[in-house]
Structure formats: C-alpha cells, structure tokens
A and B are shown apart, each in its own frame.
Chain A
Amino acid sequence: DAGITQSPRHKVTETGTPVTLRCHQTENHRYMYWYRQDPGHGLRLIHYSYGVKDTDKGEVSDGYSVSRSKTEDFLLTLESATSSQTSVYFCAIKAGLAGVEQFFGPGTRLTVL
C-alpha cells in the first residue's frame, strides 16, 4: 500500500463547470503524477510534479491545470469541464526499491454530461 488516496472517487458534473480532483499521499514522496485512462488509449500522462510548487506538462495537458502547495497533496483542476474529459483519472507516486516504480491511487471516475 503506497498510501495514496484520491477524492472524490466518483463525480458527475455538467459541461462548463470547474472540477478539482485531489490526490493525497502520506509518505512524503517527491514525485507525483496525474494520468487519465480511456478505452483504446491506455493511460496517458496529464501533468506531473517534482516538488512543492514544481510542476510540468505531460502528453495531454490541454484543458487541465495542477497545483501542489504541500508535499502530500497534488490537485488536478478542469477549469471548464468538457465531455471529452470524461475519463478515469489516476494519481501516482514514484517510489519502490530503486525509486523509479510508480504506484497508483484507486482512481476517480469523472463523467461530464
């Protein structure tokens, strides 16, 4: 158990509304990641963080922003949700014996109507 929680676990929202997903970790890991999983696409990286207030874009960052004001929390914000952002969102941390494996949270299922 990598001590990662995500909230909410499920959310239904309407197009145009802002949405914030939270990833919380309890083990002081430096690196945190947000991925989205869609049928036929596997998982794709949205944004990642390499420290407090240090973030960078991933492969599919358009329409998303992130913030990390403290080590344990990494927030993903959809400023104005669209139906194309309906997906399952996974947060991950980097840890493991060599410090390079990524361990994932339980996921958040987001539906944008």
Chain B
Amino acid sequence: AQKVTQAQTEISVVEKEDVTLDCVYETRDTTYYLFWYKQPPSGELVFLIRRNSFDEQNEISGRYSWNFQKSTSSFNFTITASQVVDSAVYFCALSDITQGGSEKLVFGKGTKLTVNP
C-alpha cells in the first residue's frame, strides 16, 4: 500500500527565514508521481509541482525548491526567504503511474506553516 508521511505537523518561522518541509513516502511501485499542494487559509487547494519517479533532478521555482531523493524515499520542499503569504498547510501526495489511467492520489496529513512578520 502507498503511504505518505509528513512528520512535521506544524512549523513556525519568522519572515525571511528558510524553511524545509519534509515528505517521506512508501510505495511498491517502481514508477510513480509525487506532488506538493498548498492550502492557504482561504481553503482552496493549489497545485505546486509534480515529479516523476524516473526524474530525480531537483527543481527550483523562484523561492521554492524541491529535493527528490529516491534512495531515501523523500521529496522535501524548501521555501527560501519565507514570506507571510507562504503561511498555509502544505500537502505532499503520491500516485502510481497508470498508462491512461486514474492516478489516484494518496496524501500526507499536511504540515501547517506559519510565517510571522
């Protein structure tokens, strides 16, 4: 069975600090997708990134970066120079890769990030 663990339930930082959100996953599949979503206080779910299991290249998008390490089954998310607008709950998720299929998501329980001014 697939499982996603986000061990950090809540994190609080001061603006401009860097913060890393941890995600560890379990799957028997050799190919799979990993995702991060953001849920701001307004409640909507915002897609941030998708990684394929066969592509371990790290990715950077502005202040956001993602470190995928297959050897440790981790897909960590770092926010550099955090801002108050980054305050949200962040979810890591996993799905299998099904050719033309349903790719059902398994979510972690989320990490609530609070960035204080």
Contacts and interface: CB of A to CB of B under 8 A. Distances in A.
Contacts of B4: 42
Given A88-B43, A104-B47, 14 more contacts: A40-B109, A41-B109, A42-B107, A42-B108, A42-B110, A44-B107, A45-B106, A50-B102, A94-B102, A96-B47, A100-B50, A101-B35, A102-B103, A106-B43
29 contacts: A31-B102, A33-B105, A40-B109, A42-B91, A43-B45, A43-B91, A43-B105, A43-B107, A44-B107, A45-B105, A48-B102, A50-B101, A59-B106, A88-B43, A90-B45, A98-B50, A100-B95, A100-B97, A100-B103, A101-B35, A101-B47, A102-B35, A102-B47, A102-B105, A103-B47, A104-B45, A106-B43, A106-B44, A107-B43
B33 interface: yes
Interface of B: 4, 33, 35, 37, 43-45, 47, 50, 91, 93, 95, 97, 101-110
Contacts of B95: 100
